[in-house]
Amino acid sequence: MTATLTPPTPAPPVLDRSDSDVVLIVDDVPDNLAVLHDALDESGYTVLVATHGEAALQRAAQALPDVVLLDAMMPGMDGFEVARRLKASPATAHIPIIFMTGLTETEHLVAALDAGGVDYVTKPIKPREVMARMLVHLGAARRARQDARQAREARNALDAFGYASITVRTADGRIVWQTPLARELLQAYFGDLGPWAPAPVQTWLRRHVLAGHGAEPLGEPPRLAVEQGARRLTFRLHQQAGDSEGGGDWLIVMREVSDAKVIESMSLAFKLTAREAEVLYWVVKGKINRDIGDILGASPATVKKHLERVFAKLGVETRTAAAAMALARLRQLHPQFEG
């Protein structure tokens, strides 16, 4: 029996934004806004329409319009709730929302602004007035998108050179954003953290930032280092990325350093086996035999035998002498090595 292959579901088309801004109109009776739709279309805008709240949220998440024209009073999910949900989602929070309402009471207008609207127009809709209001907010939205794109490109450039970056809110330890490499490193060293920075990072950040009373820290604070075997993840406080209330949001640059090359260098320099070089590496790091055994998954007696062979090959009798000889050679080969 021949299996029938089901063709893959085509991805939703990507809107071409090179020539026009995208406007999403949300109204449960779109025919009432036909004149506005036609006027926007004739003016070169790409116009999308949603007739209820759920459709508006879905269309906004897919298309990421440049502006949303939102009817305040709709059955089911009203415009106020749609706006709150759009603003609660990081993907759509930046989109300016202009409410369209026949309500002129102050409490309704205040509710529209509280829900995340940047402006409102009253019905019956006048297309020229709507477009004039839109131009004001589209300009601000373009600048915000450009700033976000430049920041994203800068963060991605850091990733490309082996540096990862996160922004952490000092007050509660929440990660405001992180680069892909940062997410991978935090997962590898600390497991699943959800939206929170690791506890050691939160403690380190608060200690040094709050020492400067939420302003620039008093000189560059010492870096935080977390070791995992021969790998080491360092955290460096870079700059403040938000206001200073509660300590503010801070950009932290992370970098992973692996000493695998260092161990390989020791093996070649002293003609050691890979395991002997690993034992010597941890001796240089000040570890005792029991700790080295735990790290390498070996017994302290096995570590001792490896260490005896290391002593013989280096021509020394004590671990202190072996560590000093290895450290001197490593600093010649790897000036950045920290013993």
Sheet holding 175-178, edge to edge: 175-178, 163-169, 249-258, 231-240, 224-228
According to the model, what pLDDT value does residue 302 have? 93
Average pLDDT, integer, range 309-337:
85
Backbone angle region of 214, left / alpha / beta, with phi > 0 → left and psi within -120 to 50 → alpha = left
Average pLDDT, integer, range 108-120:
83
> Which of 329, 200, 192, 178 has its CA nearest to residue 268?
329
Average pLDDT, integer, range 72-93:
89
Mean of pLDDT over the chain: 81
Average pLDDT, integer, range 109-122:
85
With bands split at pLDDT 50, 70 and 90, how would you rate the model's confidence at 194? confident
Distance between CA 289 and CA 275 in Å, rounded? 14
According to the model, what pLDDT value does residue 318 have? 92
Q: What is the DSSP string of 263-293?
A: HHHHHHHHT--HHHHHHHHHHHTT--HHHHH
According to the model, what pLDDT value does residue 220 have? 62
Lowest mean pLDDT segment, chosen from 5-14, 165-174, 209-218, 303-312: 5-14
Distance between CA 27 and CA 44 in Å, rounded? 21
Average pLDDT, integer, range 318-339:
80
According to the model, what pLDDT value does residue 143 have? 72
Helix axes 79-88, 53-63, angle to 10 degrees: 30
Average pLDDT, integer, range 176-181:
85
With bands split at pLDDT 50, 70 and 90, how would you rate the model's confidence at 246? low
Q: What is the pLDDT of residues 263-319, one digit of tens each?
A: 888 888 899 998 999 999 999 988 999 989 888 888 999 999 999 999 999 999 998
Q: Which residue segments constitute the domains of the chain, with CATH numbers given? A: 22-151 (3.40.50.2300), 162-258 (3.30.450.20), 260-333 (1.10.10.10)
- What element of type H or E holds 147? helix 127-160
Q: Pick 192 or 272 by higher pLDDT.
A: 272
CB 263 within 8 A of CB 277: yes
* Structure tokens that stand for 219 in this block: 């000189």
High-pLDDT (> 70) share of the chain, %: 80
According to the model, what pLDDT value does residue 8 have? 44
Distances (CA, A) of 180 to 62, 93, 184: 22, 21, 6
Lowest mean pLDDT segment, chosen from 112-126, 201-215, 311-325: 201-215
Asked whether residue 156 carries a pLDDT value surpassing 70, the answer given is: no
> Which of 237, 231, 187, 230 has its CA nearest to residue 209?
237
Average pLDDT, integer, range 240-260:
75
According to the model, what pLDDT value does residue 181 have? 86
Average pLDDT, integer, range 211-228:
65
Helix axes 180-190, 127-160, angle to 10 degrees: 50
With bands split at pLDDT 50, 70 and 90, how would you rate the model's confidence at 81? very high
Residue partners of 192: CB distance under 8 A and separation at least 6: none
According to the model, what pLDDT value does residue 197 have? 93
According to the model, what pLDDT value does residue 11 have? 42
Residue partners of 167: CB distance under 8 A and separation at least 6: 175, 176, 177, 178, 241, 242, 249, 250, 251, 252
Handedness of CA 285, 291, 292, 297 (dihedral sign): negative
With bands split at pLDDT 50, 70 and 90, how would you rate the model's confidence at 112? confident
